[in-house]
Structure 1
Amino acid sequence: MTQINFTLNFDKLKEELVQSDLNDFVKSAMVLVLNEYMEKERDDYMENQAYDRSEDRHDYRNGYYNRDYVLNIGRVELNVPRTRSGNFSTEVFEKYKRCDQAFLLSMTEMFVNGVSTRKVSNIVKQLCGENVSKSMVSNLTKKLDPIVKEWANRPLSVYNYRYLFVDAMYIKVREYDKVVSKAVYIGLAVREDGKRDIVGLQVAHAESEENWNNFFDHLISRGFRSPKLIISDAHAGLKTAIQQKFIGSTWQRCSVHLRRNIIDKMPKKDSQEARDLLRNIFEAPSLKVSRMLKEEFMNRYEDEKKYQKALETLDEGYEDAIQFFSEPTEAHAHIRTTNVLERLNGEVRKREKTIRIFPNQQSAFRLIGAVLMDCEEAMDPGNKKYIYFKE
């Protein structure tokens, strides 16, 4: 019998099959290759060829048994070699299992990217010709739990963080047969070297001082130290929690949120000039210029009654919104607003809107955590930095 020697690259084979038309001929070719590989495995185990006669043989061939095997190209039937003693076992199923794991991970990735379990099931049906229940997809995604939990609880003492952005967004969760709102607390920090990390994630009840305290306590318990600047909106409970938990840190009120609050109190008609001047106040090249523009704004509109509430809001929130000027100039555009965190929230929203209502709080934590992990992996790769601090 002619001996066949070849090395089977399962990853390459899988890639070529996935890119093919996946017709019956391809499936047949796959069966031939796998059957021949298993035959070669048994020959190696036997240390002889079929029909060879030797007195020191340790086992005997004992035909084959049929086994259905579901690959990502569909169901195939294989002829699995066996021996009389039963000691021989093929490695084909274990080796190809690694490829199947990649397919299962792809199913998980579809879920993380916002594809519903129903749609994932339909996609698998089209690709494989096999039914995959929604419960199977749901159970598969639960394998993310320990991964997300480990990431969300990882130590933060490895780096010194210079800035911390915090915000809360709201989602819908089913709880005791009712649909309720839950707050998702997210923290994004900038290291001393200018790179970013997503340092905090919690899903809890409505935004409150108590819940913000719990969020910050969790950061501190993992080794997070007081940053120079904490950037957020002006939620009262959040402000109080920052003062209590991070003594020595400066609070920077998001200038965009403040501008929106001021604009809401301005006349809607014929106010474009005032809006432009207001924007220039917070985008000034220096603190000195910003104060000059602020005084100009106050003087120009102080006698106009319809601007009085806007002037009061500006005067009340101005100092908290210009704390970024105390930091290096190259950081100003990045830290005067929470825009960087708003964009991150937007990535979560893109995935979350397909689900609309999470079945429970844990599923929300799982999906949002997986999304944030994915975002963090793509954040500031290689030598790229969010802020390039001058030496």
Structure 2
Amino acid sequence: MDQDTLRILLREAVRETVAEVLQTVLELDRTAFLQVHGGRRNGYYPRKLETAFGQVDLKVPRDRESRYYPAFLKPYARRLVDVGEVAVALYAAGVSQRKAAEILSLLLGHRYSHETLSALTDQVLEAAGAFRTRLLPEEMAFVYLDGLSLKVFREGEGIVRESVYVALGIAPDGERR
């Protein structure tokens, strides 16, 4: 048996094990929910979920009153790994979108187009921009300021030094912002 065949068989075995573990976690989660909140079991519905080891088919349990939802699954999410975070990390490291699409297809076993990665990156950068321009409260009990210098890849410029400033404020009620 050659190494490629062995690698494929091993990846498939790991994917099946991940599917079995996730299915067990779903069952235990529903049982715990029903013990606390009461109610009765009401079958399953199918769901595909992309993991780091490939796509797995799950039977998501439900209850009769439709109050239960698995704790570790986000509604309508189809990926256990946040592709947006991985895409932004690759983008920040200076990896092209086409190369990032290839890397993600190797890591997740699913092909993402460079257009999809571009849309994900734009969405995350838009959220970061909204965070940066939000209004801050007028009063702070303490303010901690710091900064560091990093090497960053800029298209057309190569690697340049950028300063990253960190500001941490403690409100009078003790909340960190």
Native 8 Å contact 2:87 2:100 kept in 1: yes
**Preserved CA contact (<8 Å) 1:27 1:76:** yes
The CA RMSD measured in Å over matched residues stands at 4.1
Letter in 1 for 2:45: Y
Task: Give the alignment of 1:143-154 within 5 angstroms.
Answer: 143-148=124-129, 151=132
- Of 10, 23, 33, 1:45 maps to 33
Correspondence for 2:70:
90
Give the superposition deviation at 1:114. 1.6
| Structure that is richer in helix per residue | 1
* 1-structure distance, mates of 2:134, 2:38: 53
Distance 1:196 1:131, change over 3 A: closer
Residue type matched to 1:119 in 2? K
Deviations 1:19-50 (A, max 9, x none): xx9611111111111111111111112229xx
Aligned residue number for residue 24 of structure 1:
12
Give the one of 16, 24, 32 matched to 1:36: 24
Q: Which runs of 5+ in 2 are unaligned?
A: 1-8, 137-145, 166-177
Q: Distance in 1 between matches of 2:130 and 2:32?
A: 44
The alpha-carbon deviation at position 110 of structure 1 amounts to 0.9
Aligned pair in 2 of structure 1 residues 377, 99: CA closer, same or farther (>3 Å)?
Answer: farther
Identity %: 27
Distance 1:47 1:144, change over 3 A: same
Contact residue 42 and residue 88 of structure 1 kept, 8 A: yes
TM-score by length of 2: 0.64
Change in Cα spacing, 1:58 to 1:110, as seen in structure 2 (3 Å) is closer
Query: How many pairs align?
Result: 147
Alignment CA distance shift 1:137-1:88 (3 Å): same
Unaligned runs of 5+ in 1: 1-20, 49-56, 156-194, 199-343, 357-367, 379-391
1:138 to 118, 122, 130: 118
Matching residue's letter, 1:352: E
Whichever structure has more strand as a proportion of its residues is 2
User: Match of 2:163, as an amino acid?
Assistant: E
Measured against aligned partners, the alpha-carbon deviations of 1:300-349 in whole angstroms (never above 9, x if no partner) come to xxxxxxxxxxxxxxxxxxxxxxxxxxxxxxxxxxxxxxxxxxxx8xx55x
Alignment partner, residue 155 of structure 2:
352
Cα separation, 2, equivalents of 1:99 and 1:82 = 20
Q: For 2:117, what is the secondary structure of its paired residue?
A: helix
What is the distance in 1 between the residues matched to 2:102 and 2:21? Answer: 29
Measure the CA separation in 2 of the matches of 1:377 and 1:126. Answer: 32
Asked whether the 8 Å contact 1:61–1:82 carries over to 2, the reply is yes
Whether the 8 Å CA contact 1:66–1:77 is kept in 2: the answer is yes
Q: What is residue 41 of structure 2 aligned with on the other side?
A: 61
Q: Give the residue type in structure 2 aligned to 1:133.
A: S
Greater Rg by CA: 1
